[in-house]
Amino acid sequence: MEVRRIAGALGAEVLGVDLAAELSAATVADIRREFLEHQVVFFRDQALSPAQFMAFARRMGKPVEYPFVKGIEGFPEIIEVKKLEHERHNFGGIWHSDTAYLDEPPMGSMLLAREVPAAGGDTEFASQYLAYESLSAGMKRLLEGLIAVNSSAKADVTRTREDRIKEQGGETKSYVAEHPVVRTHPETGRKALYVNIAHTVGFKNMNEEESAPLLQYLFRHQVRPEFTCRFQWRVGSLAFWDNRCTQHNPINDYHGQRRVMHRITLAGNTPR
């Protein structure tokens, strides 16, 4: 197995591994170690069936169902993330950490490319370790102990998934969860910023107007270019990212073209 970093901040390609094969315990441990070190890892040319995709996901964690979109036939934990030729909004097309509005947000997510546009449709990732570590000592003291309120009903993100919900006749239930603004990664012990523009609506015991100035600063700060990497998809590419210390943003620059991905979400724990 060979590992190649793709940016200074985070992200690495893992080469020489066939995820459709029966992976040894040592290989699984190696992948998991690189995942924790690089925060997001990428694999190329993985011709995985849904069953093989699910088998790999189960070696990395516990797949769980996404609350708004039904899974594909026979695999309720695999959802189709797609934008069709006539659509203008892409699914999750805003900087975010997946489902931060749940009491137990996911540990990680996996995305496997099935159809990609001729150009465009890249995904950016941002290290929330670096976002936190680069703050001043005074700002760190200010954020310590603050609790963020996260909602699935925030307007910007609901618009990016409305096509899929309408298509499937999905529910419109809203989820709200409170989590620390600064969380400690349960495996690495490093601290990371844990607010995001898609889901965070304010701070506990403050109204939205009072919360807005600080949140707007954090939203800008946490996706500075020097904290990011960018991944260009090909059919068969697979990304596996750590929701506890990253954000991601699928770039919506391929109107008139089709992009279809399969996604699996892995269960996490309550942020501390």
Just list the catalytic residues. 96, 98, 248, 263
Cβ proximity of 3 and 15 under 8 Å: yes
Choose among 10, 2, 55: nearest CA to 226.
10
Residues 6+ apart with CB under 8 A from 238: 19, 42, 43, 46, 48, 110, 111, 112, 113
Measured distance CA(241)–CA(220) in Å, rounded: 21
Cβ proximity of 75 and 140 under 8 Å: no
CA angle, 104 then 178 then 110, to 5°: 35
Residues 6+ apart with CB under 8 A from 247: 95, 96, 97, 125, 126, 128, 196, 222, 223
Cβ proximity of 35 and 242 under 8 Å: yes
